[in-house]
Structure 1
Amino acid sequence: MAGHPQNEEGLTSSYADPQGEPFLLTRFAVPTRPATFLPRRRLTRHLDQALLTPLTMVNGAAGAGKTLLVADWVAGRDEPVAWLTAEGSGRSPGILWAYLLQALCVAGVPMPADIGCPADAHRVDRTLLARVAAHLSARSEPVIVVLDEYDRVTDPQIAEQLEFVVHHAGRGMRLVLVTRTEPLLPLHRYRAAGDMTEIRGAELAFTPQEAAVLLELHGLNLPMDAARALVRRTQGWAAGLRLCALAAQERPDAERYLKEFESDRTTVADFLLAEVLKRQAPETQDLLLRVSVLDRFCPDLVNALTGRTDAEAILVVLHRDNAFVEHLGHSWYRLHPLFGEILRAHLRVRDPGLRPELHRRAAHWLRRPGPLEQTLGHGAAAGDWEFTAGALVDDLAIGQLFTGRRCDDLAELFSGMGPEAASPAADIVRAARDLARSDLDRGLAHLHRAESNLGQEGESDQGAARLSCALLEALAARLAGSPDRAERAAAMAQHVRHEVPAGLLDSHPELTALLLAHVGSTRLWAGRFDDARAALTQAAGAPGGASTALPREDSLGRLALIDYLDGWLGRAERKAQEAIAATHRFGLPQPSGFGIGRLVLAAVAVDRNELDQAQALVDSVSASPGSMRDPVTEAGRAIATARLLLARGKPHAAVEAAEPAVRAEVASPWASGHTALVASAAHLAEGRPEAAAGVLHAAPDGQVACAVQAARAHLAAGEPGAAISLLETVRPEARAGPGVTVRAMLVRAQAADRAGDIATARRLLTQALREARRERLRRPFLEAGPWIRPLLCVAPLRGLAEGWLTPGAVPPGRTPGSPDRPAPVVEELSERERDVLRRLAEMMSTQEIADDLHVSVNTIKTHLKGVYRKLAVGRRTDAVRRARELRLL
């Protein structure tokens, strides 16, 4: 070539572009790091290994921060660094090697004159490469050669030539490739020999902590939660974070902008469309736009959406080239979240009518092999509601509208279903949604229309739909308080179960659990406790994890209510707590479902005279808009609320609250008995014992608690004989617990006290205290009246009351001859509180107690507050003194 004299081997004698063009010096320049660049030591430490291996590859998507990372690393190196940005020389071996030799010269590593320079843009003589390698191999220290934008190198010859030089240069050269794609080099050999250092996209991604520092460098001091959210959305993509930070600088509320920005209207969109989408062939661009409607996809699904047959090969290339297509394993892929958002927006503009059709194709393809969640999502997005409802019902997943992690999402998904969907499945879904809101009339209207249309269609494959109808019939019976209808629904479910494949039933344990819970609840309403317990126990033991958590909570709560009604506070409390834990451990809303467990805990708290706790529990259920309403729940609410109001001295309000707010087709004996109990207690509180006894005449037979309350009313009216006769006539059942038996003992003890039989009164009161103490049952003693106070102030009864019975049971004054000792504490100390109290007595500091018990200082402070409250003191010295008076130390 003119101006470039050649030697005998056809090589130019100076380092010049074989085409005669002057070298572009910018291609040798190490990129300048911006002022807001964040050095990341974890990555530069990894790059330090490049000095130990002949080949290093920094491979990531566009904007992943590859180039600036390597530029930051080489800035701290003492070794010579030859930097070359490949650009347009990737298809011309001669030009690339001419530039590479010039890069070595710029780096202070000139080649001897006899090596020469390529004279042909498209060819490099092997002897030149051998001379370069030999010269580099003789160096005492390595030269670092960085080839940036190596993904532009597409000529296989260049890869072979580089490998030759790297291999023969030995320790004299360390090659660093910065690339978006996998280089055409035998990487497997380098990896197997341990001769390669790699940094890939996952490692390049910013962590939330790094993102927070990057935002600070842009003048944005935001909470860590905001940084985490941005990292989730961008997946730590460096360019995305920087572009978002630059845009947020111009907004008055940067945190809100980073949380809510529309990705398609930002420089992020411009970057991705230009650097990723428009670099692809037109058919690949079309494929990417179409798959943007999918959360994840496989080649067969992509072919269904595109009408192509070669999706697998295209996806492999897109993933290999870091085109923001991530491989999930087992031939499944997904788009980078931001890239997907931008492509969807681009699709809406380019072809707005295509999206519903793509969703429809995806829904139908996913119907069998894909997850139901994705099938329903695409069906809804396509507006194909009959197909979507049919998929839900045919899969026997109707119970997922009531329980599990997705019930709210499903309710929201089907909220867009209009009246044009007229299939039985659509009506079944409508019925489920209405019944979930306790809208019985609308729910039954949809359900009966679905059942009618199912009968007209005459199809044989309707088992799932009929079983779904049976479940909804049982729920409707429960809401209506109709035990007979519930039993018919259960019989219908048993009849059609054989029409459903066993595998389908096994995969949806929530349906059986819900059905049992509904039937058990109606039996409970009817007062059939044994039958109810059988169904509810089976539902409470259902498998299925989160999918059956709500019916398990519901059933355990109702089992707790049965125990409470039978007078077993401890059992009721344990079951109610287990009920709440059933949903809590899966992160489901609290309170969820019918909320009966919390109402039982509230009623237990009232009987223990823990009124503030009871109020908080009642309020938590009342404040929950998602709780369903059925007669049992409302009766439970009435019990807790009315008893709480009675305990607070509000008898009129208690009577008003005692009637359940939901009407039922049949009356519940225990709910009716409770209403009478509250009215009777209100009359007694106002000094009308005759009226108190009279309201109980209409109470259902066999209500032991009503008989005990009637006996108490007779005793207050001056009729001890009638009271005792009533207790003798209606003896407590064998299953009755202290909540019933303690009250009966107190009536007998009061009658004995009035008769002057102090020994019998003390014996009965002693027995009552022992039974009540196990359950921490306090209200019966507070409601007993003044006769009990002198007896509780003397030994041995006082000892039985100490440590757990509220001071309200004993007057502040002293009876003649009673020992001058303080009243019992309000509430028994826990074991850990006793541990703390003992260490207080040893004059240990709060820190010393924390160290001794291996807990935090804050935990000790919490226990101290409990000790002070229960001992009614405000200082540690008073607590120790009080504890010694009560013989707790």
Structure 2
Amino acid sequence: MVVGVVAIEPGGPGAAASEVDPLGAPYLPGRFTVPARPPTFLRRKRLHDHLDLGLTTPLTMVNGAAGAGKTLLVADWADSLDDPVAWLTVDSELTPGLFWAYLLQALRCQGVLTPAEVGSPADAQQVDDKLLARLAVGLAARERPVVVVLDGYHRVTDPAITEQVEFVLQNAGPGLRLVLVTRTEPLLPLHLYRAAGTLTEIRNAELAFTPKETRGLLALHGLELSLDASRALMERTEGWAAGLRLCALAAQDADDAEVYLKEFEAGQSTVADYLLGEVLTRQSSETQDLLLRVSVLDRFSPGLANTLTGRRDAGPILEGLRRRNAFVESLGHSRYRLHPLLGEILRSHLEVTRPGLRPRLHRRAAHWLHHCGYLPDALAHGAAAGDWEFTAAALVDDLAIGQLFTGLRAEGLAGLFSRMTPETTSPAAELIRAARALHHRDVGRGLAHLHHAEQTLATEASDPTAAQLSCALLEARAARLTGAPGRAEKAARSARHLQDDVPAGLLKRHPELNALLLTDLGTTHLWAGRFEEARDALGAVVASPAGAETALPRQESLSHLALMDYLDGWLDRAEHKALAALTETERYGLPPSSGSSVGHLVRAAVAVERDELDEAQRLLDEAAAFGPAGQDDPVTAASRALATARLRLAQGDTAAALAATESPVTADVVCPWERGRAAALACAAHLAEGRPETAARALLAAPDDQTACAVEAARALIAVGHPDAALELLDAVPSDGEAGPAVTVPALLVRAQAHGEAGDPAAARRVLNRALLEARRERLRRPVLEARPWILRMLGTGAREPLAEDWLLRGAEPGAMGPLVVEELSARERDVLVRLAQMMSTEEIAADLYVSVNTVKTHLKGVFRKLGVNRRTDAVRRARELGLL
């Protein structure tokens, strides 16, 4: 329905019907005039479309704060209509008789009704019910509805007027479409209209300008801003129309409009004049005092507001402000907030009118919030008050010091306490300084602060349990950074003892405390080579309930468990855990930690063993992005050095490999696996350069029980012509029944080579086939490639192993090998494989081959074993790669 508005001019059509109101004064034409829009007015189609829906419901309410753009929006929409529109700007002085006299005059001026049809109120104070009935009947008889706009309806304070409006609206039927433009909800039974679907509403949130609309409005003021700058201004004003227009006007005189709109001080602007005039000065002195005091808060409850004012009337005042859309918004659950711009302006006004009050308000808020259990807000206000003794004590007493290492708040807390003054020397403050230093891997400075706190705590008379538990946490972190398992165990024992004296609810609120302790303890056990103890501690962290608070320790624990799987030779397990570790922080939007480095380093090491060298390099580069190598703890440093050395050796850069193994890892105790692996890699690099004697010397300081060292020592013996000694050395290595292929395959390959060099080709082939079968289980390519020269020599003599030779000879370049197959499929296994490719079930294959189902299952197991797969689809894919299908 397209509509237009006829503005009423004095003396225009219908004006002669009644020239004076019930008081005998002439009607003020401005009350009937549709407001004109300025040249910079931006028409917003989405809101026009919503108002068009109001033509299908009896009542439309446009409800928003001062300056939200309500009146101009409705005026622009009304101008687009061609049905009659009666506009009345309501005044607070209108009594019932005057209100209806003015409304009837607005209708008559549009030619909707004549005086003879309805009449006019004779008394300014009241109106006859019969007159209202005649009005309703007259409107109901219309073929097309009339739109009545009551602008500023929040000024109607007499409940009788609202009751009369409700009466006419209910009885006029489809002949009336009433539009209320208001700052507050009227006393009409809106819930009934909502339930019946007969109310169209446009509220503050919808009136707010979008970033695109903000940009369009600024363009009308001659300001061409980027979408990002427009979005930033929109967010600061929350799309408030008057604020945007005032900012735009001010920016027109600025040298750089975009910089001005980004940095302008709200408290010293025309926006401040508007809000102070439209909001603050219109309130009672009690309300003004409350608004000024709560301006120091981002959000607040009536209880907190009462604490700041010293009164008990905050509840009704805040609810009244909310109902009046006075830039106070309800957040639900009796919590409120100020419009951000109003908050800025009031804080500036507070500094000017009541200097020195703001820190005291922050201090009061901090103590109230801490007492009520709102620790993050309490810390923020304590810092804002400059009360660092309270702020540090609040964090430590709440057992929340672990949040400086993990969780969504770690960065914010670090920034908050970076402002702590040097004069604050309490034990809690020293503990926080120690935590921040250890977080940045500055162990010396961290321990200095920690020991100073411990010495002070020993002399305090008050209960120091929370602070001592924090000390234990920091001791464990320092032990991890220095590779000191004894210190970590002592800290863990101390923590377990102290936790008995801490309320269970407090520990439950901070699951990161135990998660961090166990992660650091497990990491030091890992460094010491005590894998079972490490798995117990790290596994407990992984098994704990997931959450943002424990995501980082869970990630680190999973990464370290992955590292142990890699060191034990189980590549698939290691890769799976390393990938799972990455998701722990991603799901909570947390930044990566050192645990991310270890996970990437493990995946890089796995990629090298599978001869995926480009992927390994990419993962090494990603690991480096998580933090400088100089800030690594010992486990991460060793993982980085070993992964780098292994990759460089695979790439043929023996000098770089040797350099990586020679990088010292500083720690309190020697790590057996780090020393053994480094020695083995150094030995391999020397052997690659043709220096077996130097290679042997590289193993002199290596642990005796390291399989990797024994393998390289055996290779060195073979290189100098002593294969029998190599076999004796390998026989002397203790058997580890739980070792995976990445450990066993290199040993089997060297054993096979020794048998071959010792003149026993049958034993060499037997051991080689076993090695290839083991390698196939985890796609272990690199050790086979490195043994390729002697394997090819051996296969060049005597009886051939066709499938093994086919795999080894396919592709001359590393990484070009096909899938691992070392045994020929039997004829019946080939028959089964062909039918697998035809998507036949086990029962169908059995029927087709005239054998039992159990026989088919036996053949399937053989196919899977020989092709190195576990599923039917993988068997078909692998067979096609080999040309068997």
Q: Same fold judged by TM-score > 0.5?
A: yes
Q: Distance in 1 between matches of 2:639 and 2:258?
A: 45
Residues matched between the structures, number: 811
Q: Which residue of 2 aligns with 1:448?
A: 451
Alignment of 1:128-207 (within 5 A): 128-191=131-194, 194-207=197-210
Q: Secondary structure at the match of 2:458?
A: helix
Which of 799, 804, 813 aligns to 1:808? It is 813
Query: Are residues 1:16 and 2:20 paired?
Result: yes
Q: Distance in 1 between matches of 2:468 and 2:811?
A: 56
Which of 78, 81, 91 aligns to 1:74? It is 78
Q: Distance in 1 between matches of 2:564 and 2:149?
A: 77
Q: Taking structure 1 as reference, are residues 257 and 708 closer, same or farther at Cα in structure 2, changes over 3 Å only? A: farther
- Measured against aligned partners, the alpha-carbon deviations of 1:477-516 in whole angstroms (never above 9, x if no partner) come to 1112111111111111111111101111122111111111
Which of 373, 381, 389 aligns to 1:386? It is 389
Tell which deviates more after alignment, 200-209 or 513-522.
200-209
- Measured against aligned partners, the alpha-carbon deviations of 1:211-261 in whole angstroms (never above 9, x if no partner) come to 566566667776666555554443343334455556667777766666555
Q: Which residue of 2 aligns with 1:359?
A: 362
- 5+ residue gaps, structure 1, are 1-11, 811-822, 829-881
Aligned-pair CA distance for 1:732: 3.9
Q: Which residue of 1 aligns with 2:280?
A: 277
Q: Which residue of 2 aligns with 1:887?
A: 883
Which of 57, 64, 69 aligns to 1:60? It is 64
Q: Secondary structure at the match of 2:752?
A: helix
Aligned-pair CA distance for 1:702: 1.0
- Measured against aligned partners, the alpha-carbon deviations of 1:40-81 in whole angstroms (never above 9, x if no partner) come to 444444434434444332111122232233223323333211
Which of 583, 588, 591 aligns to 1:589? It is 591
Q: Taking structure 1 as reference, are residues 169 and 503 closer, same or farther at Cα in structure 2, changes over 3 Å only? A: same
Residues 776 and 820 in structure 2, CA contact (< 8 A), matched pair in contact too: no
- Measured against aligned partners, the alpha-carbon deviations of 1:80-101 in whole angstroms (never above 9, x if no partner) come to 1101112x45444444333323
Q: Distance in 2 between matches of 1:360 and 1:554?
A: 38
Residues 552 and 582 in structure 1, CA contact (< 8 A), matched pair in contact too: yes
Q: What is the identity, as a one-letter code, of the residue corresponding to 2:705?
A: G
- Measured against aligned partners, the alpha-carbon deviations of 1:581-637 in whole angstroms (never above 9, x if no partner) come to 211222111354572111111222222222232222222232334885211111111
Residues 607 and 779 in structure 1, CA contact (< 8 A), matched pair in contact too: yes
Aligned-pair CA distance for 1:753: 3.0
Q: Which residue of 2 aligns with 1:816?
A: none
Query: Are residues 1:303 and 2:306 paired?
Result: yes
Q: Distance in 1 between matches of 2:795 and 2:94?
A: 101
Residues 804 and 827 in structure 1, CA contact (< 8 A), matched pair in contact too: no
Q: Taking structure 1 as reference, are residues 191 and 744 closer, same or farther at Cα in structure 2, changes over 3 Å only? A: closer
Q: Distance in 2 between matches of 1:801 and 1:31?
A: 89
Q: Distance in 1 between matches of 2:63 and 2:465?
A: 54
Q: Distance in 2 between matches of 1:225 and 1:776?
A: 49
- 5+ residue gaps, structure 2, are 1-15, 822-877
Q: Distance in 1 between matches of 2:535 and 2:190?
A: 67
Which of 535, 539, 542 aligns to 1:540? It is 542
Q: Taking structure 1 as reference, are residues 15 and 166 closer, same or farther at Cα in structure 2, changes over 3 Å only? A: farther
Residues 16 and 98 in structure 1, CA contact (< 8 A), matched pair in contact too: no
Q: Secondary structure at the match of 1:177?
A: strand
Q: Taking structure 1 as reference, are residues 570 and 261 closer, same or farther at Cα in structure 2, changes over 3 Å only? A: farther
Aligned-pair CA distance for 1:449: 1.8
Q: Distance in 2 between matches of 1:758 and 1:260?
A: 82
Q: What is the identity, as a one-letter code, of the residue corresponding to 1:534?
A: D
Q: Distance in 1 between matches of 2:800 and 2:235?
A: 68
Residues 359 and 385 in structure 2, CA contact (< 8 A), matched pair in contact too: yes
Q: Which residue of 1 aligns with 2:871?
A: none
Query: Are residues 1:328 and 2:321 paired?
Result: no
Tell which deviates more after alignment, 438-447 or 213-222.
213-222
Q: Taking structure 1 as reference, are residues 418 and 593 closer, same or farther at Cα in structure 2, changes over 3 Å only? A: farther
Q: Distance in 2 between matches of 1:193 and 1:541?
A: 52
Q: Secondary structure at the match of 1:456?
A: coil
Tell which deviates more after alignment, 694-703 or 758-767.
758-767
Q: Which residue of 2 aligns with 1:847?
A: none
Residues 434 and 443 in structure 1, CA contact (< 8 A), matched pair in contact too: yes
Q: Identity, % of aligned pairs? A: 63
Q: Distance in 2 between matches of 1:512 and 1:775?
A: 35
Which of 521, 524, 527 aligns to 1:522? It is 524
Q: Distance in 1 between matches of 2:229 and 2:746?
A: 58
Alignment of 1:213-232 (within 5 A): 229-232=232-235
- Measured against aligned partners, the alpha-carbon deviations of 1:625-671 in whole angstroms (never above 9, x if no partner) come to 48852111111111112222222333233222224554111111111
Q: What is the identity, as a one-letter code, of the residue corresponding to 1:566?
A: D
- TM-score normalized by structure 2? 0.85
Tell which deviates more after alignment, 99-108 or 518-527.
99-108
Q: Distance in 2 between matches of 1:553 and 1:31?
A: 62
Residues 792 and 798 in structure 1, CA contact (< 8 A), matched pair in contact too: no
Q: What is the identity, as a one-letter code, of the residue corresponding to 1:887?
A: G
Q: Taking structure 1 as reference, are residues 652 and 85 closer, same or farther at Cα in structure 2, changes over 3 Å only? A: same
Q: Taking structure 1 as reference, are residues 824 and 779 closer, same or farther at Cα in structure 2, changes over 3 Å only? A: closer
Residues 559 and 596 in structure 2, CA contact (< 8 A), matched pair in contact too: no
Aligned-pair CA distance for 1:130: 4.6
Q: Distance in 2 between matches of 1:702 and 1:450?
A: 43
Q: Secondary structure at the match of 2:86?
A: strand
Query: Are residues 1:405 and 2:405 paired?
Result: no
- Measured against aligned partners, the alpha-carbon deviations of 1:409-467 in whole angstroms (never above 9, x if no partner) come to 1111111112222222111111111111111111111112222222211323x322221
Q: Taking structure 1 as reference, are residues 210 and 387 closer, same or farther at Cα in structure 2, changes over 3 Å only? A: same
Q: Which residue of 2 aligns with 1:27?
A: 31
Q: Secondary structure at the match of 1:160?
A: helix
Q: What is the identity, as a one-letter code, of the residue corresponding to 1:718?
A: G
- TM-score normalized by structure 1? 0.84
